[in-house]
Amino acid sequence: MSRRVVVTGVGLVSPLGIGTEPTWAEVTAGTSGVSTITRIDTSDFPVHIGAEVKGFEPKDWIEKKEVKKFDLFVHFALAATTMALENSGLEITDENATRVGVVIGSGIGGFPLIERQHEILLNRGPRRVSPFFIPGAIINMCSGLVSIRTGAKGPNMATCTACSTSAHAIGDALLYIRHGYADAIIAGGSEAVTSGMPLAGFSSMRALSTRNDEPERASRPWDRDRDGFVIGEGSGIVILEELEHAKRRGAPILAEVLGFGMSSDAFHMSAPAEDGDGAIRAMQGALDDGSLNPEDVAYINAHGTATPAGDTVETIAVKGVFGDHARELMVSSTKSMTGHLLGAAGGLEFGLVVQSLINGVAPPTINLDNPDPENDLDYVAHTAREADIKVALTNSFGFGGTNACLAVGLFD
């Protein structure tokens, strides 16, 4: 019999707050975390807005002398991990260290540090490039440093699947625990690329909203006037445990991971398959893996990035999987408030789904002022809604056609 896997801790660093509780409070209030970018000068860019993490002090989470060695996305991961472990009460000791793993990914990694060191290379020469540059910027340093600092000696992995990264990390962690490779895993993702090269690259693709004069209204999934996503940053980390392991130590069981589905569109480098095929198979895979019927699901935290094509394809996919029940589902995009955290999106949104289950609340989709007639599901427009949610899905779809879906349920 497959080992059951539960969630015992959640740690969130987001544009809406540093911590799970402040983030959840702002999500349920329908607050936008989008504003004019302050981290870099955007005067020469077509896009001036983003969802930055406000008030974050790296030295609160890492020794002052260590801060400059690592990119901001690593700082975020350490902070979110610290909060998740505190929430869980999981202590890593000599006795259990080899049974605790870490799976934390990033979609892009340390671009701000790469940019700074490249500038040093050009202006001051190769001998002035920091010896900490490579370890400070590589994507697996989140999982590596978390392992070093916590003493976790089990499986140590970093996923990198664009905007599906965190969802794949949590899905991989689920499989590792089910198959007995570990009893507990620290899982999720982190991202911090509010910097020149990513902003320029996404702008050149015309993927970003240019609603610069109304930042808080820029991210508008399923709205007729949507014009692209808003770049965000932060980290979402969760503690997954085998059920009996969690029970033995008296852990707080927040939810159960019921199913995991993944697929590839095999279609286009950045556009989704127009018939929703990949998204359909990912969602159906999560249902099948969890032995769930479509009617069991009450809420979907959608990928919902506010791109013209992506939103419509996700609507098509939801209808393809759920049939008539699609009309009964609540579907919302918390990216309307947090922006798109890229590789960290799935971790943040998984954590928010856990909060939805615990609190019986479906978060809203804000800025849905002029519904697109092609997108005609219940997107929980404007205001959070109290609801009996026993099972929810969270979707993550990424460049390269990579798709992931996680099914999460109340534990009973």
Active centre residues (catalytic):
163, 303, 340
**How far apart are the C-alpha atoms of 234 and 351, rounded to whole Å?**
13
> Length of the chain in residues, anyone?
412
Q: Which two tokens stand for residue 119?
A: 């500038």
Burial class (CB in 10 A: 0-12, 13-18, 19+), 151: middle
- With contact defined as beta carbons under 8 Å apart, do 213 and 47 qualify? no
User: Sign of the C-alpha dihedral, residues 309, 14, 401, 365?
Assistant: negative
Q: Distance between alpha carbon 333 and the CA centroid of its chain, in Å?
A: 12
β strands within 158-298, DSSP E: 184-191, 234-242, 255-264
Q: Is 326 helix (H, G, I), strand (E, B) or coil?
A: helix
- At 308, phi and psi to the nearest 5? -55, -45
3-class secondary structure per residue, 227-256: CCECEECEEEEEEEEEHHHHHHCCCCCCEE
Q: What is the pairing mode between strands 255-264 and 402-409? A: antiparallel
Cα dist from 383 to 30, 67, 147, 332, 386, whole Å = 6, 39, 40, 11, 10
- With contact defined as beta carbons under 8 Å apart, do 156 and 187 qualify? no
Cβ-based neighbours of 256, under 8 Å, separated by 6 or more: 4, 5, 6, 7, 243, 408, 409, 410, 411
Q: What is the pairing mode between strands 5-14 and 17-18? A: antiparallel
- Nearest CA to 346 among 241, 129, 189, 149? 189
